[in-house]
Amino acid sequence: MSGSRVGDYLRHMRQAASDVCGFVAGLSKDQFLADKRTQQVVIMSIVILGEAATKMMDRYPETAERYPGVPWRNMRGMRNRIAHGYFDINLDVVWETVQTALPELLACLTAIEQEVTEGD
């Protein structure tokens, strides 16, 4: 396994998830729904997260399979829905994803990144 490249993808994913959590910290759902700038940076970070997840699945499937708790396909699917249906983005779904899935994902990615980089 090319650990350094895997580590790069994991870092990109962790950074994107961390960024999103920071962007919405302290915001209510109503504030998020009224703040186009925050919506844009959150959506772009989700695209980055999904792109890195897609590359991991395509290029390092054995690593992705080793961590079944990571929602690889969901991340890729959300990225694809955003990228190909931009004007139909459901901000309620984005908000729920950010609030419920990303903090857990961030913790998971941090642990995996440590494990993978220690193995190099």
Confidence of residue 31 (pLDDT cuts 50, 70, 90): very high
Whole-prediction pTM: 0.86
Per residue in 61-115, pLDDT (tens digit) is: 999 999 999 999 999 998 988 888 766 888 999 999 999 999 999 999 999 988 8
Per residue in 34-64, pLDDT (tens digit) is: 999 999 999 999 999 999 999 999 999 999 9
Identify the active-site residue in 12, 14, 76, 79.
Answer: 79
Residue 47 lies in a domain: yes
Q: Is 12 a catalytic residue?
A: no
Q: How many domains does the chain have?
A: 1
Q: Is 79 a catalytic residue?
A: yes
Helix H or strand E encompassing 22: helix 3-24
Q: At what angle do helices 102-118 and 3-24 cross, to 10 degrees?
A: 150
Q: Which of 97, 106, 99, 31 is nearest to 69 (CA)?
A: 106
Which residue segment(s) compose the domain that 37 sits in?
Answer: 3-114
- pLDDT value of position 117: 77
Angstrom distance (rounded) from CA 11 to CA 54: 14
Residue 94 lies in a domain: yes
Residue 79 lies in a domain: yes
